[in-house]
Amino acid sequence: MPNRQDIISWCNQFLQISAFQDYAPNGLQVEGRENVRKIVCAVTASLAAIDYAVQQEADMLLVHHGLFWKSEPITITGWKHRRIAALLRHNINLAGYHLPLDAHPEVGNNAQLAQRLGWRIDGQTGEQNLLMYGAPPPDTDGAALVAQLAAALGRQPVAAGDLQRSVRRLFWCSGGAQGFFQQAIDLGANAFVTGEISEAQYHLAKENGTLFISAGHHATERYGIQALAGRLQQEFALECRFFDEDNPA
């Protein structure tokens, strides 16, 4: 049976976590049992995900959004206490990988999103290579791109800008990357896809002629953690299950 530290060391090296400056710890966040037979993966270490891991008798919960963030209080009270207490009570390891999982060229959220949508990947740029660029299938306009995202992700995106314009140069970053929109505009994007939208992006899209599409933070980040778990399944002969939530954000 694989050892916890062997799995964490493999993930740390594979995702090259030392190359990233993150606002969350990457790697093991809560220590559980030493040997790992079954892993549950999920986007977020929510109480629902932890309860599912308990139900599945998992030894590790592997997530994109862990429990500790620089902007949050350090006290372990309320919701954070309930989640950590459940992990400790059932001796379940919690491992989280944030920006390294967004940017990875194979199992990353951006790369996996492109794979599911049939987008060509031409490269990565921007802060810590978090901005990916390329092109959708030929003859795709903004309306078709929105429809493709809706079909693939199972939710209706929010779009701002010209839906009739042809999309030949596409930039994207999963999650809450609306702050990268101006950079994508400066780099010549016809369209930019991310998970969230703020008030300012509507005006930028309208005034610059670049389509902005918010396809859902959770929805755009479902696939990287599954791809990482799939690699662990191959490397360590583990049993892996994915837990999903109906998160509209």
Q: How confident is the prediction along the chain (249 residues), in pLDDT tens digits per residue?
A: 899 999 999 999 999 999 999 999 999 999 999 999 999 999 999 999 999 999 999 999 999 999 999 989 999 999 999 999 999 999 999 999 999 999 999 999 999 999 999 999 999 999 999 999 999 999 999 999 999 999 999 999 999 999 999 999 999 999 999 999 999 999 999 999 999 999 999 999 999 999 999 999 999 999 999 999 999 999 999 999 999 999 999
Structural contact between residues 61 and 53, judged by C-beta atoms closer than 8 angstroms:
yes
Structural contact between residues 178 and 197, judged by C-beta atoms closer than 8 angstroms:
yes
- On whether residue 216 sits in a domain, the answer given is yes
Is 64 labelled as part of a ligand binding site? yes
203 CB contacts (<8 Å, ≥6 apart)? none
Domain limit, last residue, from 97, 117, 143: 97
- Overall domain count for the chain: 2
Same domain, 92 and 108: no
- On whether residue 200 sits in a domain, the answer given is yes
Is 102 labelled as part of a ligand binding site? yes
Same domain, 122 and 182: yes
Structural contact between residues 181 and 137, judged by C-beta atoms closer than 8 angstroms:
no
Same domain, 122 and 205: yes
Is 72 labelled as part of a ligand binding site? no
Same domain, 58 and 126: no
Beta-carbon count within 10 A of 198 CB = 12
Domain that holds residue 34: 4-97
- H or E element, residue 144: helix 142-153
Evaluate if pTM is beyond 0.95.
yes
Same domain, 39 and 80: yes
Is 104 labelled as part of a ligand binding site? no
